[in-house]
Amino acid sequence: MMFGSIDPALLLASVIVASVPIILAAIGELVVEKAGVLNLGVEGMMIMGAICGFVAAVETGSPVLGFVGGALGAAALALVFALLTQYLLTNQVATGLALTLFGLGLSSLIGQGYVGIKPPVTEDVPFGPLADIPFFGRVLFSHDWVAYLSVAVVAAVWWVLRSTRAGLVLRAVGESHDAAHALGYKVTRIRVLAILFGGAMAGLGGAYISLVRVPQWTDGITAGAGWIALAIVVFASWKPWRVLLGAYLFGGITVLQLNLQAAGSAIPVEYLSMAPYLITILVLVIMSSGRGKASLNAPASLGQNFHASR
Amino acid sequence: MKRRTLLATAALGLSVAFAGTAMAQDKTKACFVYVGPIGDGGWTYQHHQGALAVQAEYGDKVEVQWQENVPEGADAERVLTQMALGGCNIIFTTSFGYMDATNAVAAKFPDVKFEHATGYKRDSANVSTYNARFYEGRAVQGHIAGRMTKSNKIGYIASFPIPEVIMGINSYYLHAKKVNPNVELSVIWAYTWFDPAKEADAAKALIEQGVDVIASHTDSTAPLAEAAKTPGVIGFGQASDMAAYKPSPRVSSIIDNWAPYYVKRVGALMDGTYEQADAWEGIAGGEVEIGEITDAVPADVKAEAEAMRDAIAAGTYHPFTGPIKKQDGSDWLADGVTAPDGDLLGMAFYVEGITGDIPK
């Protein structure tokens, strides 16, 4: 089955790969925001993950260690954010923005000696006969392990937030840190852990860009993916599965518009290029109107600093 | 006592500041504005190589300053104003999108020289423009593409619909078509100069639709990295040699060599022979270089491509030589006529045979 020269199986497979970095970064940020912290430094953490992952993979020759390195590098940057906002009580918006600028600069510095090097290849997971199933084999069983991990992380976050005590405590901290503190929960410690998780996930997403999607290092390689991830969290109204949906929708339309162009579609290029952003805005408007407003779903203590002075 | 110390310090500070200005006037300060990071491995990297060549040539007599990642638009104007106020004597703005900002700021600082790459507006006497005839390199690439493609589908990742890019597409297509009448060209407009992930996605979309030769007009090496994943797909280095992807997928490249121009202009400013200019050099002038054609290309194709390069350098062959018709079938160039520079610099049409429309 083909639409013009577009093969839908290849298209869907590309969509899944193109969405992985945004899914990982967005699900991490979702946890951070659920704990009541607004970290706008996703872009900076992603690019730190991209370079640290790249360096680790090139130096050790192992893509798996590369992803570990990416997660650790970005988590280290997130730790800076945690120290500043949770212990020194700096403004979260300003600190987050500064974190992005810092991450972009630092990654460029670390990456000086790594331009033009090829990283070790991340192999696809061997599914054997499953990969030979027509259509579904190509779409579902032809990816590397990180693509599957991204979906697994979404499922895990959904389950933890919904059904576990840890998830309940995390949400309590995000909704009312004073009440959570009064109940004896360590608000600051919980938030720091959430920030570190968010950093690690953003780092994995960044490492995916430099190790799989583009396979190389250049300055500014994430090119705004972190900001898209931030938008996706709002888009998803802080619900894990909607993050997946939002990322696939955004990634899908991005890939589709490039494919339509290559296929020589009659739709003017301007409309195709603006489509991903236009549709994101449209969905945001639809979702935030009427009952179950997206804005009402935001954690009540989002962006507020906490100090146990009372 | 304390007040006296303070006054002394202030006086010292002032004298240092004056000494600073005096020194700055001895030196010629050359400033560069880059649209991407120096580490892009392509366009900006090559401009920076030119800036370093200026420093190497004149040593202590010049001070070179640059700023990376300057967005096209209002931010560019602020950066340019800052540079002009900061004592820059000559400012090179190295992307098409800085055109209006360059002219606007130049009008306010008549004593500072402005050099705008790839543009065509010279509103005040202190604005010069310079460009390179990239379409000459595209002709060589098109020849290789037409001879190398097995699927008869070739691709072009374009950035913005400006004459410089359209010229490249036309030249690439004409020369592929000349050696392979069955060739079809797919163009993707990325609407960015630098976004590695998007450039890679564009290359991927082309490859998935059967394209096996990809030329790119964006700044990073991402399309080559994507091409490397699929055996049999080849591409070209753009702006820089991109030698890391030799011998395949990178089978050749267009190298922008800005160093001679930068050295010449800064030198002219220093010895007082500087004049407003509209420079447009190509292979012959050394501004466009064809990177090594690798062994992934058969020897006869390589020889033909090199012969074309040499003919262009010698001035015996012009990549736009008639008869050439426009996409709508109307005549552009009659038999044997070469394209006037004015037509090229304002090019806003595809040549006959290319499908699709140029975005407006």
What are A75-117's pLDDT values in tens digits? 999 999 999 999 999 999 999 999 999 999 999 899 888 877 8
Residue B196 binned pLDDT confidence (cut-offs 50, 70, 90): confident
Cross-strand pairs, A171: none
Q: Establish if A305 belongs to a structural domain.
A: no
Decide if A219 and B186 are in contact by the 8 Å CB cutoff. Answer: no
Q: Establish if A284 belongs to a structural domain.
A: yes
CB atoms within 10 A of CB A297: 14
B178 with B149, same domain? Answer: yes
Q: Establish if B104 belongs to a structural domain.
A: yes
Nearest-CA neighbor of A18 among A275, A271, A276, A247? A247
Here the tokens at position A272 are: 């195709």
Helix (H) or strand (E) holding B91: strand B90-93
Cβ-based interface (< 8 Å): residues of A facing B: 5-7, 10-11, 14, 18, 21, 108, 111-112, 115-118, 209, 213-225, 254-255, 258-259, 261-264, 268-270, 273
User: Taking the mean position of all CA atoms in its chain, how far away is CA B17?
Assistant: 38
Place of tokens 């913005």: B160
Q: Establish if A308 belongs to a structural domain.
A: no
Residue A183 phi, psi (nearest 5):
-80, -5
Largest CA distance in chain A: 67
**How far is Cα B33 from Cα B67, in angstroms, rounded to an integer?**
5
Q: Establish if A157 belongs to a structural domain.
A: yes
Task: Return the CATH number at B221.
Answer: 3.40.50.2300
Cross-strand pairs, B214: B155, B235
Q: Establish if B100 belongs to a structural domain.
A: yes
**Which residue from B39, B211, B222 is facing A219, i.e. has the nearest CB?**
B39
The distance of A198 to chain B (nearest Cα, Å) reads 22
- What does the pLDDT average to over A221-225? 86
pLDDT for B234 equals 93
Residue B14 binned pLDDT confidence (cut-offs 50, 70, 90): very low
Tell me whether 0.85 is exceeded by the ipTM: no
Q: Establish if A2 belongs to a structural domain.
A: no
Helix (H) or strand (E) holding B280: strand B278-281
Here the tokens at position A116 are: 């033009």
Do B83 and B102 meet the contact criterion of CB atoms below 8 Å apart?
no
Task: Tell me which of B162, B209, B226, B245 to substitute to probe the interface with A (most A C-beta atoms closer than 10 Å).
Answer: B209
- What does the pLDDT average to over B127-142? 93
| Concatenated DSSP letters of A160-202 | HHHHSHHHHHHHHHHH-HHHHHHTT--HHHHHHHHHHHHHHHH
Question: Which residues of chain A neighbour B359 with C-beta distances below 8 Å?
Answer: 268-270
The distance of A53 to chain B (nearest Cα, Å) reads 16
First-to-last CA distance in chain B?
A: 71
E-strand stretches of chain A: none
Nearest-CA neighbor of A80 among A196, A177, A194, A187? A196
Nearest-CA neighbor of B196 among B70, B66, B41? B41
Amino acid at B328: D
**Which residue from B37, B68, B189 is facing A261, i.e. has the nearest CB?**
B189
Q: Check pLDDT > 60 for residue B20.
A: no
Q: Establish if B138 belongs to a structural domain.
A: yes
Q: Establish if A302 belongs to a structural domain.
A: no
Task: Return the CATH number at A262.
Answer: 1.10.3470
**How far is Cα A6 from Cα A2, in angstroms, rounded to an integer?**
6
**CA B77, B78, B80, B84 torsion-angle sign:** positive
Q: Establish if B355 belongs to a structural domain.
A: no
Return the axis-axis angle of helices A187-208 and A42-60, rounded to nearest 10°. 60
Nearest-CA neighbor of A303 among A89, A98, A103? A89
Report the number of distinct structural domains present in chain A.
1
**How far is Cα B309 from Cα B73, in angstroms, rounded to an integer?**
37
Average pLDDT, chain B: 88
**How far is Cα A87 from Cα A305, in angstroms, rounded to an integer?**
10
First-to-last CA distance in chain A?
A: 66
Per cent of chain B over pLDDT 90 is: 64
Report the number of distinct structural domains present in chain B.
2
Q: Check pLDDT > 80 for residue B2.
A: no
B329 with B205, same domain? Answer: yes
B187 with B317, same domain? Answer: yes
B21 with B43, same domain? Answer: yes
Question: In chain B, which residue's Cα lies nearest the Cα of A212?
Answer: B226
Q: Check pLDDT > 70 for residue B92.
A: yes
Decide if B209 and A263 are in contact by the 8 Å CB cutoff. Answer: yes
DSSP single-letter state for residue B219: S
B243 with B269, same domain? Answer: no
B250 with B313, same domain? Answer: yes
Q: List Cα–Cα distances, A295 to A33, A289, B300, B314, in angstroms.
A: 13, 9, 66, 67
Amino acid at B148: M
B91 with B153, same domain? Answer: no
The distance of A217 to chain B (nearest Cα, Å) reads 9
**How far is Cα B233 from Cα B217, in angstroms, rounded to an integer?**
17
Using DSSP, state whether A216 is helix, strand or coil: coil
Range of the domain at A78: 8-297
Task: Select the highest-mean-pLDDT range: A42-46, A135-139, A211-215, B318-322.
Answer: A42-46
Range of the domain at B277: 2-133+258-281
B181 with B231, same domain? Answer: yes
Do A34 and A161 meet the contact criterion of CB atoms below 8 Å apart?
yes
B56 with B162, same domain? Answer: no
Decide if B244 and A222 are in contact by the 8 Å CB cutoff. Answer: no
B268 with B195, same domain? Answer: no
Do B226 and B200 meet the contact criterion of CB atoms below 8 Å apart?
yes
**Which residue from A223, A261, A268 is facing B195, i.e. has the nearest CB?**
A223
Q: Which long-range contacts (CB under 8 A, 24 or more apart) does A149-152 make?
A: A149/A204, A150/A19, A150/A20, A150/A23, A150/A24, A150/A27, A151/A23, A151/A244
B223 with B321, same domain? Answer: yes
Peptide bond preceding B161: is omega within 30 degrees of 0, i.e. cis? no
DSSP single-letter state for residue A295: G
Q: Check pLDDT > 60 for residue B24.
A: no
Question: Cα-atom radius of gyration of chain A, to the nearest Å?
Answer: 20
Q: Establish if A309 belongs to a structural domain.
A: no
pLDDT for B84 equals 94
**How far is Cα B31 from Cα B76, in angstroms, rounded to an integer?**
13
